[in-house]
Amino acid sequence: MSRAPVTRPSIGARARRLGFAITQPVGSVVIALVIGAIIMIAFGFDPIKGYGGLFRYAFLSEFNLTVTILNSVPLVFTGLAVAFAFRCGLFNIGAEGQLLVGSLFAGWLGTLIHLPMILTVPILLITGSVMGALWALLPGVLKATTGAHEVITTMMMSWIGLYLTSYLVKNVLMDPRSTIPASNKITEQAQLLTFDEILPFLFGRPTRLHIGVFLAVLVAVFIWYLLTRTSLGFSVRAVGSNPFAAEAGGVRIRSSIVVSLLISGALAGLAGTVEILGLHHRVFDRFSAGYGFTGITVALLAKNHPLGVIPAALLFGALTNGGAGMQLAADIPIDIVDVLSGVIIFLVAAEEIVKGLGRRQAKRQAAARSLALSSGDEGTVA
Amino acid sequence: MQAISESRPGAEGASEDIVVRLREISKFFPGVVANDRVNLDLRRGEIHALLGENGAGKTTVMNVLYGLYGPDGGSIEVEGRHVRINSPNTALSLGIGMVHQHFMLIPRFTIVENVVLGHEPRTGFGALDLVEARRRLTELSREFGLAVEPDRLVEDASVGMQQRAEILKALYLGAKVLILDEPTAVLAPQEVDDLFATIRSLTEGGLSIFFITHKLEEVIEISDRVTVIRAGRVIETVDTGQTTKEELARRMVGREVVLRVEKKEHAVGEPILAVEELTATDHRGLTAIDGISFVVGAGEIVGIAGVDGNGQRELEEVLIGFQKPTGGRILLSGEDVSRLDVRNRIDRGVGLIPQDRQRRGLVLDFDLVENVLLGNQWRAPYSRPLGIDYSYLREQTEETVREFDVKTPSVDVDASTLSGGNQQKLILAREIRRGPKLLVAAQPTRGLDVGAIEFVHRQLLELRECGVAILLISYELEEILSLADRILVLYEGGIAHEVSGDDAVREEIGLAMTGGSRRSE
């Protein structure tokens, strides 16, 4: 049997597709910055000074860059969590609760465990993801069996998780020596290595950057592979795009829904676990700065692309960090950062409107193309 | 509008009473000529069929006449006077009305409200005068024999009644020229007969009609003259009486077409599908299939005839596994599969050409490669331990596209960009290449043009010769008569009639489809 030559999409075509996909989110950010500038001017501030301060405090200097990157790490995980569920047509807005529950149990176990690091860290990461996944299990099962909407159920579970973890930290895990609600420190072997520990020749001084940064990138790549290159990912995307055709193609819709929410919950649980193991080294009451919710914005801006989540998370990590700088440098209230994220979300969400117009155009062109094809045939017939 | 006939330019057509004349109409879309110097005329009181394949440009030229598109060249004369039609309102004021393939009615309004919408009669206080509106509607309805219930909500009205409402709306606005775009596509056989009677009474009432279609039988049955359009050009205009179906088909497609594919005699093998006392409900929970039993053997095509809504959809859904039967059994080669899910049935050799191809058959925003993967994603050569083998899949897709002549610029485009016929070819290819034992083909040629229909029919007959059991569910009696070895008529969820393909009498089947007879034992 001779193999037919296979044409691949040309690099040019791929680049064009990528360029097209990126234009819109980047455009949204640019427009948001312009609108932010207009608002600053309207209130008598100097936008150049403001954005200058934002940029400086977000990126310029090792300390600032470190904070920005550390801010982004949990956002990569929560962004992936929300994006994955989105690809199956599910809106997991309860990532915050999954994050808290996952990290609480991982952190708890982390205070007790005395094994070599090579075992401890994986065990704790798995614990955190499993608990996060479990927190998303009920919404998944309810959606699959009764159709109960995940927006309601994940949110409800999120509040339960929030108060449950808060209660446990204050009443069960509380370090008696601590003045604020926080658990004991996790053991030495449970803590993620920092950059200066693994790369002493690059980082002379101690840094807070930990290997969770690599883990975030690795997991993003893994999720990308899972979604675009495996049968599971294909089924999930098919359910998200057209559940009726997916069903006809033998996809088990219910199990796809449950599995998607489990994976989503696991990623959210991982977000919190990496925070505890890498940064805080103990569980604080409500330590998450709304990472689960910001993850929704991150996923939106990334258009639910697992690799797009990385730059999107960096942007929001930089915005929260640089916002404080803006306040220091130009006396501009930090709230302008919320305005910026609000405008970005608005513009990305408004995409559907823009897309709708584009689709009408595309439809017309498709009609024209099919015509061109049929008239092309005439030539060969005659 | 009376002075017009005197100023008619050109004396060559003086003996004929021309209502509308299109001269050299051209219309370009980016990169494509949709209409290339189209000349058309419409005589008073005639039914003029525009025949062509999907995408040939018949609807485009009528949209130009109706003012939806501005022409890029050429001119239009109405009643001998040069006119410029730049909106449907202008067209309506010139007495030209159009009924689109997809109705433009508001589902939540009643029929009378829809008919008068935009030109409502008003009471002295400026409020909507529904009494007057209803009176005028009833008058029109009686005059042209278009029966509607004025106060029924459009969403509750049958498709036929909705169509009559659309026609009445055009008449209410004073249309003298009516453009009907594929009016029979949505209708059941009897409704088609009613529509044709209506159309005739309209022309007797002085209307002139452009009738867009790609169905040859309709052209022969209803039209006075026919214009064949291919690739944006007029191929010819002839008196319908002077031509034949075969002749028209050839001109329309541009090559010889076999309208009724040859079916070889061969013996039916062992039973593949056996349905026993099967019952199922519709989405409202009412009985839709009422204890039917039948068998489909290897190499046999069993046709399920019937009017839409008599249980066909539920039969399809139960057989493929979208819903579980409420009673009875489905045996596939002797094994009871009625409790198995879709994936397990696919694994046991069930294939489906779904009635609703865009909803059930394809993921429109996936490319062709991933649409070919659908239903294979867990199966051996495609699925590998480390994921889907996309390079193998791509190779298979390119082969599929080549083998089944799916017209597409590449396999990387979204399935939504394919024309209906090519979408259907893709589905057919995917299901056939999987090597099914049983193929459930529901409405496999709905909306396809003559060339594509011939292709689908050939494929089905080829499968039959390979020993595949085929259940053909179709609302096109013609299709069933030409393909089926055995015909079952589904009426109100039961089998009202059963006959072998050779002994089939069209009238008997037609009667059974409307509940005229019970199963002949």
In angstroms, rounded to a whole number, what is the distance separating the alpha carbons of residues A331 and B152? 66
Do the strands B438-442 and B469-473 form a parallel or antiparallel pair, or are they unpaired? parallel
pLDDT for B254-298, tens place per residue? 877 766 777 777 788 899 999 999 999 988 888 999 999 999 999
Per-residue confidence (pLDDT) for residue B236, from 0 to 100: 92
Across the interface, of B342, B370, B417, the residue whose CB is closest to A250 is: B342
pLDDT for B2-19, tens place per residue? 444 444 444 444 446 899
B322: closest CA among B442, B427, B404, B231? B442
In total, the C-beta contacts within 8 angstroms joining chain A to chain B are: 135
Percent of chain B with pLDDT over 70: 94
In angstroms, rounded to a whole number, what is the distance separating the alpha carbons of residues B93 and B89? 6
| pTM for the full predicted model | 0.77
Per-residue confidence (pLDDT) for residue B517, from 0 to 100: 56
In angstroms, rounded to a whole number, what is the distance separating the alpha carbons of residues A101 and A109? 12
Confidence of residue B31 (pLDDT cuts 50, 70, 90): low
How close, in Å, is residue A266 to chain B by CA atoms?
21
Provide the terminal-to-terminal Cα distance of chain B, rounded to the nearest Å. Answer: 64
Question: Which residues, 6+ apart, have CB-to-CB distance to A39 below 8 Å?
Answer: A336, A339
Other beta carbons within 10 angstroms of residue B304's beta carbon come to: 25
Per-residue confidence (pLDDT) for residue B255, from 0 to 100: 77
A179 vs B341 pLDDT, higher one: B341
- Asked whether the beta carbons of residue B362 and residue A242 sit closer than 8 angstroms, the reply is yes
Per-residue confidence (pLDDT) for residue A333, from 0 to 100: 86
Q: Enter the tokens of residue A188.
A: 């030495």
Across the interface, of B354, B390, B422, the residue whose CB is closest to A229 is: B390
* Tens digit of pLDDT at every position of chain A (382 positions): 344 444 556 666 677 777 777 877 888 888 889 999 999 899 888 889 889 989 999 999 889 999 999 999 999 999 999 999 999 999 999 999 999 999 999 999 999 998 999 999 999 999 999 999 999 999 999 999 999 999 999 999 999 999 999 999 998 888 888 888 888 899 999 999 998 888 888 877 888 999 999 999 999 999 999 999 999 999 999 999 999 999 999 999 999 999 999 999 999 999 999 999 999 999 998 888 899 999 999 999 999 999 999 999 999 999 988 888 888 888 888 888 888 888 888 888 776 555 655 555 555 554 444 444 443 333 332 2
In angstroms, rounded to a whole number, what is the distance separating the alpha carbons of residues B444 and B428? 9
**In chain A, which residues have their Cβ closer than 8 Å to the Cβ of B391?**
6
Per-residue confidence (pLDDT) for residue A363, from 0 to 100: 52
Per-residue confidence (pLDDT) for residue A377, from 0 to 100: 35
B324 vs B501 pLDDT, higher one: B324
Specify the DSSP element, H or E, that contains B399.
Answer: helix B390-403
Specify the DSSP element, H or E, that contains B292.
Answer: strand B287-297
Taking phi over 0 as left and psi of -120 to 50 as alpha, with beta for the rest, A250 belongs to left
pLDDT for B131-153, tens place per residue? 888 999 999 998 888 889 999 99
In chain A, the residue whose alpha carbon lies closest to the alpha carbon of B344 is A250
Across the interface, of A364, A366, A378, the residue whose CB is closest to B231 is: A378
